[in-house]
Structure 1
């Protein structure tokens, strides 16, 4: 009788709907990146990244539309591999880090597309301005890692118009927008 009750209990657990899992973004292991590129006067690309950020997300493959993510970026960690330029990027001409040391992204909805692709809508607060942005994203993969944990990874890209975020320094029409590329690997909590 005890075996039958145990079997029934196990069977009932197997049919319970899966719940979204919560993940912390793996910045300690350097498995997440926020990078950018912007045209330099139309002659070349300038690349950079933000070295310090944190965040978490909730994800269920069977209910992708219910997924959520939030990120906090330390704007002073901007790194374009050139100290003088980084100093200028931190100034009031661009990121104004003395007044706005953090940028945040909080998702508002996920719109599934074909395959592992989806549009991630959310509010980006940068330089004291909050605007809705859409990140074209894709799931890269998920599964167990060699250390007994479980991971899920995603990549996305969006283009921001600098003036939309009160960055009014005019570097010419070729430099009016910046492309953000995000790669996020999360470890299930």
Structure 2
């Protein structure tokens, strides 16, 4: 009888135990990329005839990432780019780049990237994800590193990252002949996110 009473008491105590006593799994915080404050950049360069580098950027894009310090493998990122915002500092060239020979912006006004996995490396981490551009979706890898994180002067909390990747133009249906030195484009991303 005593054993039954003790068992009942222990069972009742277990049921009544406060939820706060249960282990809690940390949730990744959401950060919005700070494009409004111009603290984020997507830039690219492509070889020009084997003689020099031609540089450009996308002026308008938005995105967010989920991240918790110490758990980079659980992080994720999504970005949407306004392809019409392409800017190589030359109006006639930009007009051509927006046409069907290249990005065909009228038909495909946006490009998107959504991560599918992140793996730590000795030098930082590699973000794997799906890039959809010009109606084609390809898996790409971005070599990245954390630049820093902490409280900002305005009462917020920020985290910043830098990454690079190389895109093969033909993978996205861009086969305009720019010569053998211009078959790929190097892309650099520098983003600063504000924790929500």
TM over 0.5: yes
Shift of the 151–12 alpha-carbon distance from structure 1 to 2, 3 Å rule, reads farther
Map of 1:79 onto structure 2: 87
Map of 2:133 onto structure 1: 126
The Cα shift of 1:18 comes to 3.2
* Partners of 2:128 and 2:49 in 1: CA distance: 30
Match status 1:142 vs 2:187: no
Map of 2:162 onto structure 1: 155
Unaligned runs of 5+ in 2: 1-17
Map of 1:63 onto structure 2: 71
Q: How many pairs were matched up?
A: 178
Between 1:153-162 and 1:55-64, the stretch displaced more is: 55-64
**Which of 34, 45, 51 is matched with 1:26 structurally?**
34
* Partners of 2:113 and 2:24 in 1: CA distance: 32
Match status 1:175 vs 2:161: no
Per the alignment, in what secondary structure is the counterpart of residue 174 of structure 1? coil
* Partners of 1:23 and 1:76 in 2: CA distance: 25
* Partners of 1:104 and 1:18 in 2: CA distance: 28
Match status 1:96 vs 2:104: yes
Map of 2:113 onto structure 1: 105
TM-score normalised by the chain length of structure 2: 0.87
Per the alignment, in what secondary structure is the counterpart of residue 129 of structure 2? strand
* Partners of 1:26 and 1:60 in 2: CA distance: 18
Q: RMSD in angstroms over aligned alpha carbons?
A: 1.6
The Cα shift of 1:72 comes to 0.2
The Cα shift of 1:84 comes to 0.2
Per the alignment, in what secondary structure is the counterpart of residue 171 of structure 2? helix
